[in-house]
């Protein structure tokens, strides 16, 4: 083999070793992304769909966004808020399953001490969204149970038809 052939062979070996080391450093998420067209495209899709639930989708701020697989599906989980939220501002938790139209978005608001009669359904629907996020692996196990206990406690103190 001549010098030119040896140089080509060295480059090929170095490239192979470099790719091998690089893929080893990626970890499970990076390896998943490399094998599935990139997590960044999936994150962008999840963020776009979650932002579409806001009154003005162009002002969304995201944080803690991650991708994982569950039951063979790719799931994007994270938090979003209106652009430049205050330090104590509420970030909504969201989850998006690749290929589905609608993300699950939980308001993130704490259960108040009193819930107005005309807001009961909204609170119940919101708690169901938290349950969905837990099933998707976007919030820790037990999050829905704790939230639902607080909500049930407030609801049990209500008088019928909102009359106090």
Q: What is the pTM of this model?
A: 0.70
Q: Is residue 34 scored above 70 in pLDDT?
A: no
Q: Is residue 36 scored above 50 in pLDDT?
A: no
- At residue 17, the pLDDT reads 35
Q: Is residue 6 scored above 60 in pLDDT?
A: no
Mean pLDDT of the chain: 78
Q: Is residue 21 scored above 60 in pLDDT?
A: no
Secondary structure of residue 48 in the 3-state scheme: helix
Burial class (CB in 10 A: 0-12, 13-18, 19+), 95: buried
pLDDT tier at 155, thresholds 50, 70, 90: confident
- In which element (H, E) is residue 92 found? strand 92-97
Q: Which residue has the higher pLDDT, 88 or 140?
A: 140
Q: What is the mean pLDDT of the segment spanning 34-58?
A: 83
Do residues 76 and 65 lie in contact, with contact meaning Cβ atoms separated by under 8 Å?
yes
- At residue 29, the pLDDT reads 38
Q: How many CB atoms lie within 10 A of CB 46?
A: 26
Q: Which residue has the higher pLDDT, 131 or 20?
A: 131
Q: Which residue has the higher pLDDT, 7 or 2?
A: 2
pLDDT tier at 1, thresholds 50, 70, 90: low
Q: Is residue 97 scored above 50 in pLDDT?
A: yes
- At residue 108, the pLDDT reads 87
- At residue 9, the pLDDT reads 43
């Amino acid at each position: 083999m001549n010098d030119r052939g040896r140089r080509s062979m060295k480059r090929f070996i170095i490239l192979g070793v470099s790719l091998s080391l690089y893929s080893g450093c990626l970890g499970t998420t990076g390896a998943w992304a490399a094998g599935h067209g990139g997590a960044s495209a999936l994150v962008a899709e999840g963020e776009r769909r979650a932002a579409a639930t806001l009154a003005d989708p162009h002002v969304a701020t995201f944080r803690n966004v991650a991708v994982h697989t569950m039951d063979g599906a790719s799931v994007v989980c994270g938090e979003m808020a209106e652009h430049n939220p205050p330090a104590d501002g509420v970030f909504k938790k969201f989850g998006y399953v690749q290929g589905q139209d609608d993300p699950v978005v939980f308001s993130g608001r704490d259960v108040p001490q009193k819930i107005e009669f005309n807001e009961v359904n909204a609170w119940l629907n919101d708690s169901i969204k938290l349950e969905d996020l837990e099933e998707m692996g976007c919030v820790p196990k037990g999050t829905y149970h704790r939230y639902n206990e607080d909500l049930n406690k407030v609801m049990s103190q209500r008088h019928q038809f909102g009359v106090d």
